[in-house]
Amino acid sequence: MIGMADKPKLPRFTRNKWNMITSAAIAGVLYLVLIAFLFLYTTNSTLRAELMLAGVVGGVLGWVAGILASPFGGEKDEFSSINKLVYGFVSGWLVNKIDALFASSEAAKGTINELSWIFIGYITASFLIAVAITYIARSYWLGEGQKAAATTTVTA
């Protein structure tokens, strides 16, 4: 018979449980709003597909940014070089290309249309929701598991 001291202890996340539940619920509601917007804004299936693709791209980029923003202990060294590379890319080449694109577009004339703003908002919203939920999940939920595993390994 196994005594109480012999039972393996599972990590308990009670301290951050409500933060995680609330964050997941808010992210879920926000994504549902984005999906509802797809169907309420337009009946054009091509535009709906383009908006959906923009949302997926924003979500994937946000997921990657959330992972890079919340590395686990062993990932910090690996991610630091990736972060420098991404920062160099974004601050140099990508900003230059985006600036050239806007300089030659309607945005430079101040006549950016409604559809462009909707795409920018849709991508940005998907990106920010994904960053937030990924960061919170890795920092508080999975991060607590990493800390508990490290503590168990050290004390064992």
Residues 49-95 have pLDDT tens digits of 988 999 999 999 888 888 888 877 777 777 777 777 777 776 776 66
- Could you tell me if residue 8 is inside a domain? no
Distance CA 119, CA 124 (A): 8
Task: DSSP for 27-93, please give it.
Answer: HHHHHHHHHHHHHHH---HHHHHHHHHHHHHHHHHHHHHHHHHS--TTHHHHHHHHHHHHHHHIIII
Q: Provide CB contacts within 8 A for 124, sequence distance 6+.
A: 58
- Could you tell me if residue 38 is inside a domain? yes
Least confident of 2-6, 16-20, 105-109: 2-6
- Could you tell me if residue 48 is inside a domain? yes
Position 155 pLDDT exceeds 60: no
| Residue with the larger pLDDT of the pair 16 and 33 | 33
% of the chain at pLDDT higher than 70: 65
- Could you tell me if residue 144 is inside a domain? yes
User: Binning pLDDT at 50, 70 and 90, where does residue 33 land?
Assistant: very high
Q: Which of 30-34, 40-44, 107-111 has the highest mean pLDDT?
A: 30-34
Q: Which domain holds residue 104?
A: 21-155
- Could you tell me if residue 14 is inside a domain? no
Position 45 pLDDT exceeds 80: yes
Number of independent structural domains in the chain: 1
How far is residue 87 from each of residues 7, 63, 84, measured CA to CA in Å?
47, 16, 5
pTM: 0.66
118-136 core/surface letters (b: 16 or more CB in 10 A; e: else): bbeebbebbbbbbbbbbbb
To the nearest 10 degrees (0 to 180), the angle between helices 14-41 and 45-69 is 160
**Per-residue pLDDT, 125:** 92
The encoded tokens of residue 87 equal 């920062």
- Could you tell me if residue 97 is inside a domain? yes
Output DSSP code: residue 7: S
Position 38 pLDDT exceeds 70: yes
- Could you tell me if residue 2 is inside a domain? no
- Could you tell me if residue 83 is inside a domain? yes
